[in-house]
Amino acid sequence: MKEKKDFNISRRSFLKISAGAAALAGVPLPKTASARTEEQLSTLIDLNLCDGCVDRKVPACVSACKAINKDKIPPVVKNIPEPWPRKTIEDWSKKQDVTNRLTPYNFIYVHNAQIDGKTIFAPRRCMHCDNPACATICPFSANSKKKNGAVVIDQDLCFGGAKCKDVCPWEIPQRQSGVGIYLHVLPGFMGNGVMYKCDLCNERLKEGKLPGCVEACPRQALLIGERKAIEKIADERARAMNGFIYGKAENGGTSTLYVSPVSFEQINKTMEKKPGQPDMKPDVVRRMATTDPLGKAVLAAPLLGLAAAGVAGAHNWFTRRKNLVKKEEENND
């Protein structure tokens, strides 16, 4: 009988974590094979079509996303280590049904904006930026921009340090404590869990499927396609409704575009920025725009000393884990 999915620290994960420390220490690393070429995609969210699925208890895009990702997060440890020097533990494992904000278990929600007697519904999730500071700053390369446009967090590498959230102008990534590789390295010092967010259903894209939110939308308010084609559609729709576009310039440009019949200044005024509830401030400037290399090195430095002490422990844990699984498989045979 196969064991329920647990966190898998693979040899690849271990080597990538070691590489994060080695790179800044000046140790030469072997070249890796480049990923296969993928078509760059963009998504379009048309606020003139989205009706918030008012006839449903939960919007279709939210329900589909939750169903697809329901088993993404492994079981949370019973006694979550209290991090030092922070004492904050973020545990959403008993609040998985929350749908009115972003959480580690909810990657998209729909904001309701009342403007001049008109209701505008705005689905909010990761913008999948063109040059994401969240990926730039991660010292262990747990966060990366894929060639298809998706910005993806590898939960096998993430320590939950939340630097990605700090540099995101919308503070999109959300942390779940008590899961992840930090538990097997230095649980009281290294991060505090794993950061989670929309990954554009990257695994589904690899299989030739649509992201869940796009596929589920009953009004086809969400589209995905080759970037230039989506940009053309966005321009045409904005002109037709004498409307506005969001995402082309924000944060240096994103792979997510919104079109709206009302201005995003008006929409933003209906939003009070709260944890898990991002605003839509127009023309938001990319953080770290001129300090990427320095910022990454400085923020990584405190972690790397601890990582050097803990990596050997992680490797020993992985070896024991692999031997145990092998023995169980032999016994099952």
44, β-bridge pairs: 223, 257
Q: For 202-229, how does the pLDDT look when each residue is reduced to its tens digit (9 = 90+)?
A: 999 999 999 999 999 999 999 999 999 9
Q: Are 42 and 256 in contact (CB under 8 A)?
A: yes
C-alpha closest to that of 103 among 197, 226, 216, 13 = 197
Structure tokens at 193: 């869990």
Tokens 């280590």 correspond to 81
The pTM of the full predicted model, rounded to 2 decimals, is 0.80
Per-residue pLDDT of the chain (333 residues; tens, 9 = 90+): 433 444 444 545 444 444 444 443 333 333 322 233 468 999 999 999 999 999 999 999 999 999 999 999 999 999 999 988 878 899 999 999 999 999 999 999 999 999 999 999 999 999 999 999 999 999 889 999 999 999 999 999 999 999 999 999 999 999 999 999 999 988 887 788 999 999 999 999 999 999 999 999 999 999 999 999 999 999 999 999 999 999 999 999 999 999 999 999 999 999 988 999 999 999 998 876 554 544 444 444 444 444 444 544 554 555 555 566 556 556 655
Q: What is the pLDDT of residue 86?
A: 79
CA distances from 284 to 264, 280, 301 (A): 12, 9, 28
333, β-bridge pairs: none
Q: Are 279 and 267 in contact (CB under 8 A)?
A: no
Q: Are 121 and 110 in contact (CB under 8 A)?
A: yes
Rounded Cα–Cα distance for residues 115 and 138 (Å) = 39
Farthest CA pair distance, the chain: 68
Those residues whose C-beta lies under 8 Å from the C-beta of residue 322, and which sit 6 or more positions away, are none
Q: What is the dihedral of CA 231, 237, 241, 243, to 10 degrees?
A: -10
What proportion of the chain, given as a percentage, has pLDDT over 70?
A: 75
Report all structural domains of the chain as residue ranges with CATH numbers, in order of start. 51-218+265-280+289-332 (3.30.70.20)
Ramachandran angles phi, psi of 302, nearest 5°: -60, -30
